[in-house]
Amino acid sequence: MLKDVKCRCTCAGATVWVTGRSLADRRAAAYAMAERLAADGHRVQVLDRLDGSGARPERTGMTAEVLARNGIVAIVPCAAEGADTVRARHEASGTRYIEMCVTGKDAPQEFAAMVKTLLPGRR
């Protein structure tokens, strides 16, 4: 019987919390970033609250943290509300958390490049 075994993925995962004024800009940035990171070999999931879940930011943040802890880059286009709770959860588990504010059309490319530099290695 195994006791006190902690399994942890060694793949590079992170939560990217995408904020900004416009929901359309946040969503566009999230999906563009996901496409670019996936093309570079990263496992990526966009957790878009408009996909029907209607989940609170804290719940979405918990889901993102679990995915990130298991080697997936979880991208969440969400308002800044609830980000403090989400950030604290990630810090407590030692999971990478990146918060980015969309401010212009070039933001997705810049963000994808920044996220790649924060991930240790590629798949």
For residue range 41-97, list pLDDT tens digits in order. Answer: 899 999 986 555 567 888 899 999 999 999 999 999 988 888 899 999 999 999 999
Which is nearest to 103 in space by CA: 17, 16, 22? 22
Percent of the chain with pLDDT over 90: 37
Contact 20, 26 (CB under 8 A): yes
**Using 50, 70 and 90 to split pLDDT, how confident is the model at 8?**
low
CB atoms within 10 A of CB 1: 2
User: What does the alpha-carbon distance between residue 11 and residue 95 come to, in Å, rounded to a whole number?
Assistant: 12
CATH code, 47: 3.40.50.300
Q: Which domain holds residue 64?
A: 18-115
Within-domain flag for 51: yes
Token pair for 61 = 């943040």
Phi first, then psi, for residue 99 (nearest 5°) are: -115, 130
11 inside domain: no
Q: Is residue 2 part of a domain?
A: no
Instruction: With respect to residue 13, please indicate whether it lies within any of the assigned structural domains.
Output: no
pLDDT of residue 54: 63
pTM summary value = 0.80
Number of domains in the chain: 1
Q: How many CA atoms lie within 13 A of 61 on its CB side?
A: 25
pLDDT higher than 60, residue 4: no
